[in-house]
Amino acid sequence: MDNRKRIKHLKYLTLSAVFAAIICVVTAFVHIPTHQGYIHVGDGIIFIAAAVLPAPYAMGAAAIGAGMSDYLSGYAMWVLPTMIIKSLMVLFFDSGSGKILCKRNIFALIPAGLICVGGYYLFGVLLSILSGSAAQAALMAALADVPSNMIQITASSGLFFVLGAGLDKSGVRLTGKRL
């Protein structure tokens, strides 16, 4: 690896660590408890990271930041599911467009939201069954958090639009082509 690639890798790694820390703090300390977890706007920061960083770095930032927030908030049983779900959510974003609010990133909110809501539903069912609930009871228990997860994705998408517009307008050079 030549020096330019090492420097670029170090920049991405450093920015990933910063995003992981911001995701963790926003998620762990600014949330509203729900049936099985909590509502937060940390996904908005995950979306910004996904629009700024190449996918492997964004996946790491999302998994580490969101996973640590679950652990710090007392939801250790959700750390692994959260790390998987949040990593998958970033795959639809484009960090090389030069803008955070490009068409692809705006439309990426849809599959990212579906993965979040669907993923937490499926893991909720699985965790309920593993804790001894009958299948039908597990399906119903996990269904109780679907509305709060939808609110979370909607609020996080709003934060993504506000932050993305502000960063794009300010000319901050964070995205892949501008790093």
Q: What is the pLDDT of residues 71-92, one digit of tens each?
A: 999 999 999 999 999 999 999 9
Beta carbons of 35 and 145 less than 8 angstroms apart:
yes
The predicted pLDDT at position 178 comes to: 43
The amino acid present at 19, given as its one-letter code, is F
The predicted pLDDT at position 1 comes to: 66
Other Cβ atoms closer than 10 A to 80:
13
Beta carbons of 152 and 32 less than 8 angstroms apart:
no
| Degrees to nearest 5, angle at CA 132 with 126 and 134 | 75
Q: Per the structure, how many domains does the chain have?
A: 1
What's the sign of the alpha-carbon dihedral 57, 45, 104, 84? positive
The amino acid present at 23, given as its one-letter code, is I
Count CA atoms closer than 13 A to 9's CA, side-chain side.
6
159 pLDDT above the threshold of 50: yes
Q: Residue 158's domain spans which residues?
A: 3-178
Helix (H) or strand (E) holding 101: none
Provide the 8-state DSSP code for 95: S
- The CATH number linked to 42 is 1.10.1760.20
Q: Pinpoint the alpha helices (H) of the chain.
A: 3-29, 42-52, 55-72, 79-89, 103-130, 135-143, 146-170
- pLDDT band per the 50, 70, 90 thresholds, residue 50: very high
pTM above 0.85, yes or no: yes
The predicted pLDDT at position 174 comes to: 62
